[in-house]
Chains A and B, each alone.
Chain A
Amino acid sequence: MNPFQYSKPADVHEAVHLSSAASRFIAGGTNLLDLMKENLTRPEHLIDITGLPLREVKETASGGVMIGALVSNADLAWHPLIEQRYPLLSQAILAGASPQLRNMASTGGNLLQRTRCYYFYDASVPCNKREPGSGCPARDGLNRIHAILGASTHCVATHPSDMCVALAALEAIVHVQGRDGARTIVFADFHRLPGDAPERDNQLADDELITAVELPAAGFAEYSHYLKIRDRASYAFALVSVAAALDLSGPAIREARLALGGVAHKPWRDNAVEQWLEGRAATHETFCAAADMLLQKAEPLEHNAFKVKLAREAIVRALSDAARGGQAR
């Protein structure tokens, strides 16, 4: 790790005013310190935000829930409000990382964790995300874990978070504070597709701090399911994951939410597919057709064609489990 200055501000205002292009905020440290140990990022100044008053989980006036950016992944997953009203989010968080890491990892940090692309993690090779313009060895290299949707010639990396897949399905709202004031970003716009600027994972500016993540009232608690497929049974990143949430009226689908992890540079949603599902019967045939429709746009690479088939089966299974009442894992 490179030497750096350390500050611990006591309020949000001080934190954003301390920040500069050469500084980083640190919360749980589980991603940032890992990257710093690999010399992939070398901040000159770490701003420890764990002293900021951003640890509350509370109900909002509009019937939703506001989650402070420093609430740990473990505390969030096991919070009674989340377990009861947003079980999809609990399941997704508990499917990620390990109990130790979930105790450390924060809500804000989870959104900003970087890709697990092997080449991104190897400072001795080029990578457009790490060094813009240097090239993308993954496109023609080992790309088993890479994207099948929404990639570009510049980058085929995937976003590694589980929590974010559930937040995408739940249409969370990210609250941020910068030097010039506060703003909100809807979850679908928070993360980016790589395009020709893969060095930018999301829309956050350098001086902006995530202060909270807001969940709208609709939690789909009755009919939702998070399914994660990985190389081992636990403690591994997703090859494919699916957050499925339904609002059912008898057998008919009133509303559907479907978000995929492990397949794109951001949690993947397809509004056309969700709309197509609305009004149809929640049957195996419907779910198969929806999966096929969503994956029509898939562009697999040399080693990850299996993800298309895997995603199809995972979508059908997650939607079926959601329709059956969700809890069956």
Chain B
Amino acid sequence: MSAIPNGAAAPPFATHSIRLSLNGQDRQLDVLPWTTLLDLLREQLDLVGSKKGCDHGQCGACTVLRDGKRVNACLTLAVMCDGAELTTVEGLADGDVLHPMQQAFIKHDAFQCGYCTPGQICSAVGLANEGRAHDTAQIQELMSGNLCRCGAYSNIRDAIEEALPACRAKGGEQ
């Protein structure tokens, strides 16, 4: 991507062309500088799994994986994702085979309304990739970036606790 110089010749608000890998597919996209990754996913690419809860980094509903690390898509500019490898909740399953974290959420009924769930699941996969949660208390602390207004926390925690070993075995795939 070329930098726009301060010079007068540059169009004031140009779109920028970015390339990224999204759920395993290479994509080339034209984005305006002020479009967030969350708006790009939801409004332009029709990937509405990632949710807009607060739009300010406070709830985690927009959590996606960037190069395997969990981030808030609402506070990420799409233009700054040039070259990134992104995984949203839509990209976790392998065809019809759910990701172990998705399976565990179903088994443990780890949701009520489901609004926070895509963010919870992506965050939990990021947690597994980090390899820093070794007991229940650590899971709770390291999942604190994902709020659940329905209060399904205990089931979410149980699901994650069960799925962590299988996710680690999958080994940083996402």
Contact = CB atoms under 8 A, between A and B. Distances in A.
B71 A6 contact: no
A28 B72 CA distance: 10
A8 B75 contact: no
A33 B36 contact: yes
A190 B70 CA distance: 31
A29 interface: yes
A235 B123 CA distance: 15
B7 to A, nearest CB: 11
B60 A78 contact: no
A4 B13 contact: yes
Contacts of A202: none
Interface string A1-20: 11111111110001000101
Contacts, number: 105
Contacts of B80: 26, 29, 48, 50
A18 B1 CA distance: 16
Interface residues of A, number: 36
Given A3-B13, A18-B6, A104-B72, A8 B1 contact: yes
B132 A29 contact: no
B71 A100 contact: yes
A101 B72 contact: yes
Contacts of B3: 7-10, 14, 18
Contacts of B32: 3
A177 B115 CA distance: 45
B63 A100 contact: yes
B131 to A, nearest CB: 10
Given A99-B145, A104-B72, A4 B33 contact: yes
A93 to B, nearest CB: 13
12 contacts: A3-B12, A3-B33, A20-B6, A26-B80, A45-B6, A46-B33, A74-B69, A97-B145, A98-B146, A99-B145, A103-B66, A234-B144
